[in-house]
Amino acid sequence: MPELLRGVCFTIARDGPDLYLKALERLGVYICATYKKGADLEMCLKAKELILPEEPILPENPMAHQPKIWDVQMMAMIKNKDTLRQDMRSLYVVMMSLCDANMKEKLKAHEGYADIKCTRDTLKLLQVIKQYMYKNGSEELHTIHNQVMSTIRLFWMRQEKGQ
């Protein structure tokens, strides 16, 4: 376990939201310190989407040297995209290693886990982890009470006229 991630864990607990935010913050510092395109990765995690670099624009009437500059910029942009995607896939393994056994079992039981694992989609994995950490296992506690409260909320729902 890297020193920057010591004490960070994705787990299902009562203080799950606080643990999630702390883990995400420490993970951002680790990413910036470790990966080549760490700042871009950290920005993607904050935005919860893959932010790819913008394509360079070639002017309509380019001067003699501008197509060559555009070619160099385009090759650099393609290389940056590839690096960003590879780093995202390798971050999947880091995030799975931060999950405790209970969280790993919950993730493996999730209906979309096979697709997430096959594509190594870090952002989808992070969404599922957040979902479980914010639920903090409350669906398994007091099931009879939860069922009664759901029924009461169902009866409290109001309908518009004509429905």
Measured distance CA(75)–CA(3) in Å, rounded: 35
Instruction: Tell me what pLDDT residue 141 has.
Output: 62
Amino acid identity of residue 92, one-letter, is Y
How would you classify residue 54: left for phi > 0, otherwise alpha for psi between -120 and 50, otherwise beta? Answer: beta
State pLDDT tens for residues 24-83.
888 888 888 888 888 888 888 888 888 888 888 877 877 888 888 888 989 998 998 998
Instruction: Tell me what pLDDT residue 21 has.
Output: 87
Measured distance CA(69)–CA(57) in Å, rounded: 11
Three-state SS letters, 124-160: HHHHHHHHHHHHCCHHHCCHHHHHHHHHHHHHHCCCC
Is the four-CA dihedral 89, 91, 97, 99 of positive or negative sign? negative
Residue ranges of the alpha helices (H) in 50-121? 66-97, 101-109, 113-119
Instruction: Tell me what pLDDT residue 117 has.
Output: 92
Measured distance CA(96)–CA(76) in Å, rounded: 31
Instruction: Tell me what pLDDT residue 138 has.
Output: 60
Instruction: Tell me what pLDDT residue 5 has.
Output: 81
Instruction: Tell me what pLDDT residue 132 has.
Output: 87
Instruction: Tell me what pLDDT residue 160 has.
Output: 67
Nearest to 26 by CA among 44, 43, 42, 14: 42
Question: Which run of H or E residues covers position 122?
Answer: helix 122-135
State pLDDT tens for residues 104-132.
998 999 999 999 999 999 999 999 998 88
